[in-house]
């Protein structure tokens, strides 16, 4: 696939708390981090743009069980769990998008409450390629929003992993993304000459 500066790779929430040992660990998170590190470097070298979203929650975030939400505290601003996984090396020039910063609002999508759409529009981005954590939450909702905003959206199926709160959630999320027009692909297919 020919890549250019109107293509954007969006790495979703590849943070310590979503990987083994974290407070909301996703099985396979370490492998996703390593896969996306190589992919991001190659994507950038081929002329594409790279973005990385981070859950960046205040201590009193509405999504935490202690505040009546469904999740254990995770990705608290400034904590080790909120840091980018050590296996994910971001290329120079990667744009960081922090989400979930409003204590009263959950934000599964990388577009919700952030400047991501504005940044992509300003640079005339047409195609977005999504990978990261977790398939059934932040990847799903970012893909749905990307399609709503009329971006050509590609899901890197070999660089995602699901929470699977219920068995089959990951596969169901992939089906939802496909149903709204997301193209399923792999890192190698995207990076092939």
How far apart CA 129 and CA 9 sit, in angstroms, is 5
> Annotated catalytic, 175?
no
Strand-pair partners of 55: 99
How far apart CA 60 and CA 58 sit, in angstroms, is 5
Query: Which residue in 13, 17, 55, 136 is the catalytic one?
Result: 13
The DSSP code for 135 is I
For residues 8-28, one letter each, b for 16 or more C-beta atoms within 10 angstroms of the residue's C-beta and e for the rest, the string is: bbbbbbbbbbbbeebbbbbeb
How far apart CA 89 and CA 85 sit, in angstroms, is 8
Query: Which residue in 19, 75, 138, 187 is the catalytic one?
Result: 138
Query: Which residue in 44, 99, 136, 145 is the catalytic one?
Result: 99
> Annotated catalytic, 126?
no
Strand-pair partners of 71: 64
23, 29 Cβ separation under 8 angstroms: no
CA atoms within a 13 Å half-sphere pointing along the CA-CB vector of 93:
12
> Annotated catalytic, 44?
no
Show which residues are catalytic.
Answer: 13, 99, 138
């Amino acid at each position: 696939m020919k890549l250019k500066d109107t293509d954007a790779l969006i790495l979703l929430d590849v943070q310590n708390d979503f990987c083994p040992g974290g407070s909301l660990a996703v099985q396979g998170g370490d492998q996703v981090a390593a896969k996306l590190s190589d992919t991001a470097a190659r994507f950038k070298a081929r002329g594409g743009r790279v973005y990385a979203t981070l859950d960046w929650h205040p201590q009193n975030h509405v999504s935490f069980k202690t505040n009546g939400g469904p999740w254990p505290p995770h990705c608290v601003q400034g904590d080790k769990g909120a840091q980018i996984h050590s296996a994910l090396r971001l290329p120079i020039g990667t744009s960081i998008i922090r989400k979930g910063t409003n204590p009263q609002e959950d934000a599964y999508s990388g577009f919700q409450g952030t400047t991501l759409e504005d940044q992509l529009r300003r640079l005339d981005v047409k195609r977005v390629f999504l990978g990261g954590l977790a398939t059934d939450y932040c990847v799903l909702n970012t893909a749905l929003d990307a399609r709503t905003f009329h971006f050509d959206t590609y899901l890197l199926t070999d660089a995602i992993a699901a929470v699977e709160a219920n068995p089959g959630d990951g596969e169901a999320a992939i089906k939802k993304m496909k149903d709204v027009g997301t193209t399923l692909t792999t890192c190698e297919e995207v990076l092939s000459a």
